[in-house]
Structure 1
């Protein structure tokens, strides 16, 4: 299936829908569970970041997502960053269940999220719904304009599966990410997977290591850098801010945290100073991330799609056998008698009309020995008798039934290899409704094919003599040539030997030889047309009967989900290419 051309925004929406389909239908082996979250994140990246960049009014805000594992201190870092205790903190791991946006009063902030519902006014952090709330914070003198900070749920508690989709929406939206890890668990697998995903997709990251004993600050920072950050981003070092282990009172004191706040703000300003270039870089890296994701989808789907490809190969072989059986048992032995009739009409046309018919009659009398010899030869060899053939309809229907039975046997042999074959075996079982449906469809298609084939063959056969009738100049030239050769030969015999008894042999022999040559040449022309008709008949059978019939077999109900999976994977690169070209033109106007 070829992806339909569409405008860039439609292509982006189709891409999102394709990723959603893969997230629901792609089988993942043990150890590949995180790939599902990568698919969901990629949807959010296209929906919340790349798609808005395509629109006529590109985003004016800069979104900073604060993320990390449970009890890492995300809300505390938000408060430090904002310089005031506005984010709801709670010692309970997994307390925050939905995102919260913090922005300055007067900031014209229209929510860009379509999956999450905006809620006016503060909402408790443990409200477990697909929502986000926007909280207005008092003016901050050194706060960058148009900056929105997001406090987010974790991704590590046992309940995270319920709300992790909300986190992924914000990660897709973010221009910058503050990754928070506590000293006790900064090397955990799940948060590290998220960090790697963000870096791979081009999101600028600032690491924030919390609860670090002050005496161990440098050693812990170095260990965190070498064990985590350097492994994930070896070529682009991730800046790291270390927040020491302080009391709750100190952590909520803006003056006590002022130095750490300035470190965070400094890194943010460095990134924001790049302006549109930063968005361009994120978009380019994001598109490369999507391309790599598509390749990974193909790899993960390969074991599933191997069954589909094996099934298509089996069906293709049986389709080929149907054609071979039809060619062998019917078409090769079918004479198409209408062409023999056309041959007779062609020879009749070559005889002289009108007054010349007397000459033709005299010549036919001379050719009587040839006609008699030909009748005896045909009788002895049986070449004028058509062999008894099974009807075309019976040949085709029997070939289809045999192919269906062979398919079922092959599928049944693989029944226990995969659920794919089990479902297919049940569907193709001889006692199931499907084989009978195929037979009925074959009969219906045969009726349409037979009418089209009969009309075509008749038109081709009649064209043998109608073409000559429509061209009098060519027809009369052939007539004149033939009669001139015949009369010239007769005259030559009479002039050479005079009238004698041998003329009774030579004259019939000469005219018979000329007639035999004429019939031979005419027969070659007719046989060429007959072969052409058979080739066309085979092509018509394939196009009007076998192709639609076998398509219903190959794409039968148990196979359709697998075909849709294949088509979705095949279409993703095309959709991405469509909106990425428009995105490049939007972000690189010159």
Structure 2
């Protein structure tokens, strides 16, 4: 049985694959970066970091570090000793090793870096540790700078086994309860994440500290084998403290109470207190029982236990993003309605079907003489066209008054201003997402001019590309007229085409604007003759069909060149104000988490 378990352990560790799929691993790494950015932002802006934010950041870092360690394929057992200030961690390590390897000091917060003492480890075992700690660099313990946390201590010990009798690396760690501990918390988490066995050193004065139990509660789902060393405890009070410890354990943890080894104060000239043999034997026994095949399961249990807490702010932000998409959707819907009201259904502004009728006029010319008539009318209407162009130079805005381009640009500006106002109103009442909405409002303000300019360019492109639709309608009307020779000859026999030809020529030569059609008797006459003829129903249907195609084209214009730019606004917001994790990325990570092996 032991051989089978050892084989499973070797297969797991040497695979270098670790738990979770690539989507889950990438998501966890990305999520940690988001938390770190927000943490830096909170540190710069001044408000105290919420307790939930700190716990999420530390537990997420611990998960990623544990995942990284399991993927190194390291084989040498790792023991990590943790505890609050002045609990005697360094002394306990020296008693375990049987020599003064760790530096013990009466000063609180003396140890500020993780410090490893490696027995029997060399070659790949050391290389794996260096890979794991990267970008931190290894230094001798005596050379560690007190205020620079880019290093970790590492001491390859002589080629002999420690008192434990096993090849092992033992880690001394920084405290987690002092005021400065936030500055070097990362080193503590790195040492916890690589541990096969965790020894929590407490004292009579420190065992009830809240920081102790917050840490023990956080790491519980990992399932790291552990025990408590109750140090500096007089024999007379040991039983009472142990009983109290059991009560605290049951309050914050659901697993069984671990072994407790008590060590009294070191008195007189003694180098070791009574009870060190029990400390060594407990360590040796638990370490030999370690089953690395269960560490992946423990990590997945840890991820599942913290998942919803990690994602709480992400889900709140995604709800805000959904609300933003809904705001943009409603604004674009309003834009389409305004376009229909102010242009398509406006009795004086709508000009597209009149343009189709102007095209029809050129098709109605009598075959064989159309070119001659066109040249003659171009000469005859030259003075009128010049007067029209002169009037437009005097009043440049008059040509665009009520035109489709003007209407579309006014609608786009209305959409931008409306959205900025709605975002500002939401930011005033939002609580958790207020920074996100404020940043979004600033981003929309910054990009407004660029969005309107790009939309104006898209309108020009749309106007050119929709021209064939107008010609298509004119040719369809003409083809239907050819099926009714009597109506066609009647139209050609009337003065309407002759009178309207100048208008059509003026249109093609730039002397007359499309809005002039609303007062042009020729166009009115042509419209009346067509609608009163046998083709009246078809003409109305052609006009409505052209209007529908135009409405659809403008709807795509709003979606592709206005809504799309607005929906991308959160992507360009400062990332210290939010997480900005795409919903698809989160869904892929959750699928892999659901497929990962469950807890036994």
TM-score for the superposition, normalised by structure 1: 0.69
**SS class of match (1:268):** helix
1:217 aligns with 2:238: yes
Q: Distance in 2 between matches of 1:407 and 1:11?
A: 32
Name the CA shift for 1:268/1:163 in 2 (closer, same or farther; >3 Å): same
Q: Which residue is 1:237 aligned to?
A: 256
Q: Distance in 2 between matches of 1:166 and 1:17?
A: 17
Matches within 5 A, 1:94-109: 94-107=109-122, 108-109=125-126
**SS class of match (1:212):** coil
Q: 1:39 aligns with which of 30, 40, 57?
A: 57
Q: Which residue is 1:287 aligned to?
A: 303
Q: Distance in 2 between matches of 1:283 and 1:421?
A: 32
Q: Which residue is 1:568 aligned to?
A: 581
Matches within 5 A, 1:197-208: 197-208=218-229
CA contact (8 A) 2:531 2:539 kept: no
Q: 1:397 aligns with which of 386, 409, 415?
A: 409
Larger Rg: 1
Compute the displacement of 1:117 (Å). Answer: 1.5
Name the CA shift for 1:421/1:50 in 2 (closer, same or farther; >3 Å): closer
Q: Can you list the C-alpha shifts for 1:520-559, whole angstroms capped at 9, x where unaligned?
A: 343254134313322223223303442255457x5597x5
Matches within 5 A, 1:130-209: 130-137=150-157, 139-140=160-161, 143=164, 145=166, 147-209=168-230
Q: Which residue is 1:329 aligned to?
A: 342
**SS class of match (2:302):** helix
Name the CA shift for 1:141/1:551 in 2 (closer, same or farther; >3 Å): closer
Q: Which residue is 2:137 aligned to?
A: 117
Compute the displacement of 1:341 (Å). Answer: 4.7
Compute the displacement of 1:53 (Å). Answer: 3.3
Matches within 5 A, 1:468-487: none
CA contact (8 A) 2:360 2:477 kept: no
The count of corresponding residues between Structure 1 and Structure 2 is 496
Q: Distance in 1 between matches of 2:256 and 2:441?
A: 57
Q: 2:472 aligns with which of 449, 463, 476?
A: 463
Q: Distance in 2 between matches of 1:319 and 1:439?
A: 18
Name the CA shift for 1:204/1:335 in 2 (closer, same or farther; >3 Å): farther
Q: Distance in 2 between matches of 1:125 and 1:75?
A: 18
Name the CA shift for 1:548/1:344 in 2 (closer, same or farther; >3 Å): same
Q: Distance in 2 between matches of 1:544 and 1:532?
A: 18
Q: Distance in 1 between matches of 2:310 and 2:449?
A: 40
Q: Distance in 2 between matches of 1:7 and 1:573?
A: 9
Q: Distance in 1 between matches of 2:324 and 2:530?
A: 59
Compute the displacement of 1:37 (Å). Answer: 4.8
**SS class of match (2:133):** coil
**SS class of match (2:81):** strand
CA contact (8 A) 1:45 1:173 kept: no
Name the CA shift for 1:298/1:427 in 2 (closer, same or farther; >3 Å): closer
Compute the displacement of 1:468 (Å). Answer: 10
Unpaired runs of 5+ in structure 2?
1-20, 369-399, 489-528
Compute the displacement of 1:445 (Å). Answer: 2.7
CA contact (8 A) 2:111 2:174 kept: yes
Q: Distance in 2 between matches of 1:515 and 1:95?
A: 96
Name the CA shift for 1:218/1:106 in 2 (closer, same or farther; >3 Å): same
Unpaired runs of 5+ in structure 1?
355-387, 470-474, 487-512
Q: Distance in 2 between matches of 1:340 and 1:439?
A: 37
Q: Which residue is 2:357 aligned to?
A: 340
Q: Can you list the C-alpha shifts for 1:42-91, whole angstroms capped at 9, x where unaligned?
A: 22431x3213434xx62223322111111112112212332333222122
Q: Which residue is 1:532 aligned to?
A: 548
Q: 2:266 aligns with which of 247, 271, 279?
A: 247
Q: Distance in 2 between matches of 1:152 and 1:467?
A: 85
Q: Distance in 1 between matches of 2:461 and 2:564?
A: 17
Q: Can you list the C-alpha shifts for 1:278-319, whole angstroms capped at 9, x where unaligned?
A: 2222222233245234234447xx4x8888777766666555
Q: Can you list the C-alpha shifts for 1:160-204, whole angstroms capped at 9, x where unaligned?
A: 222222212222332332112112221111121111111134433
Q: Distance in 2 between matches of 1:142 and 1:232?
A: 34
Compute the displacement of 1:206 (Å). Answer: 1.9
Q: Can you list the C-alpha shifts for 1:455-479, whole angstroms capped at 9, x where unaligned?
A: 22x222333466799xxxxx89x97
Q: Which residue is 2:280 aligned to?
A: 261
Name the CA shift for 1:252/1:42 in 2 (closer, same or farther; >3 Å): farther
Compute the displacement of 1:208 (Å). Answer: 2.1
